[in-house]
Amino acid sequence: MKRIYFNNQKNLKNVMALTWYKEHEKQVFALEDCKEGLFFDFDNEKFKWFIIEAESGEITGMVFPGNLSLGVDYRFNEKLGRDLTYLWSRDIKKTGRVENHIIRDEKNLYYREDKSKKISVFLPESYDGVTPHDILYFFDAQNLFCMAGEYTDKGDPYGSWQLDLVLSEIYRQYGKSIIVVGIDNADSYRSRELFMNPKKFGELSDFAKTPDGEFSNGYLESLSSFMVTTLHSFIKENYCVKEDNIGLGGSSMGGIASFFCGLYEMGFYKYILSYSPAFALFKSEAFERWFKLIDFKKHPDLLPKIHIYCGGGDELEKNLLYQAVKMKQTLVSYGYDEEKVFESYDLDKPHNEESWRLVLPESFTNLLSLQEIENG
């Protein structure tokens, strides 16, 4: 049982919490008013997600809390002109800091004019430079943290992933300290360097056959090699880290990239967050041919845990959903350990950061072996 907080700064009246395990099994709670905010006790063993709804008809996004008692904040976003749902915790006072670096690698980043990548390293408040921390590599560094800034020159109206807030809660409740190494992917190379080369990997789907040939080439193998060699060496030399539980995550192009890299660098990553992955850019036969070459049954101890999430609330998510749902079945049919592939779907959610950030607590509490500390 977990206590979930709702930061009711809009002073909504007659607020209810709706929780589901399955569509036909739900509970509704009238939230109580108190000085600390609105709250309810969430049976995390029985129910999988919840939403907050007010008498006025306003409703938050669906939240998958896992075992993490992280609440939600529902507030107006000026760029979109409507309310968005953000993760929130009344217990977090500081969120750590971000250090930026430019890493050069002429061999692996040959396809880039500058032969380099911008990297953002999030150091949690617990980081003291002495105690080793776990590492989580993540694509789209430019939009991961509450303090990290804007996605493009025009700004991203959906806000950050709030990775820093979630990991601060993970540390507070479970004592797990994680450094995030974010790879910036906001420039013109994004579609190519987060994508497998179709000439080697397999045939593109009709969905990927754009007039400008955007997906006709891919440098993901080279980017992956950069990450596990040059970048990882830099992190080891400059930060106090552990290497026994390295994770990797991303969404959309970053979602397919994290999935591919996790299996391509077998044994390096122990868990993968693959959100709204762009599997649909390839025909399913391409993945099947690749899985045959890997032979999962020969490497059962090296297989990373994988969380696949997808929505269905806009046209893009609908195009990605079928392949995302199909992927676990395909993996298992080629010998992947079924218990290592975790799925969640929200058919009402569109393709954006608001959706992805609400899934983060579920990923960490399901993919990491966490034991709640006494004062958590």
- In angstroms, the CA 16 to CA 53 distance is 5
Q: Which token pair is 127? A: 């980081």
- In angstroms, the CA 69 to CA 318 distance is 30
Range of the domain at 27: 2-88
CATH number at residue 362: 3.40.50.1820
Handedness of CA 169, 175, 176, 179 (dihedral sign): positive
Q: Does 344 lie in the same domain as 326?
A: yes
What end-to-end distance do the CA atoms of the chain give, in Å? 13
Q: Which token pair is 294? A: 């890997």
In a domain, 375, yes or no: no
Q: Does 329 lie in the same domain as 200?
A: yes
Q: What is the DSSP string of 274-339?
A: EES--GGGB-HHHHHHHHHHH-GGG-GGGPPEEEEEEE-SSHHHHHHHHHHHHHHHHHHHTT--GG
> Total domain count for the chain?
2
- For the question of whether the overall pTM of this predicted structure is more than 0.85, the answer is yes
Domain end marker among 61, 88, 115:
88
In a domain, 374, yes or no: no
Q: Which token pair is 370? A: 């966490």
pLDDT tens string, the chain, 376 residues long: the values are 788 888 888 888 888 888 887 666 677 878 766 556 678 888 877 888 888 888 888 888 888 888 787 888 888 877 788 888 888 887 766 678 899 999 999 999 999 999 999 999 999 988 999 999 999 999 999 889 875 433 334 456 787 899 988 998 888 888 899 999 999 998 999 999 999 999 999 999 999 888 778 888 999 999 999 999 999 999 999 999 999 999 999 999 999 999 999 999 999 999 999 999 999 999 999 999 999 999 899 889 999 999 999 999 999 999 999 999 999 999 999 999 999 999 999 998 999 999 999 999 999 988 997 777 755 4
In a domain, 376, yes or no: no
In a domain, 23, yes or no: yes
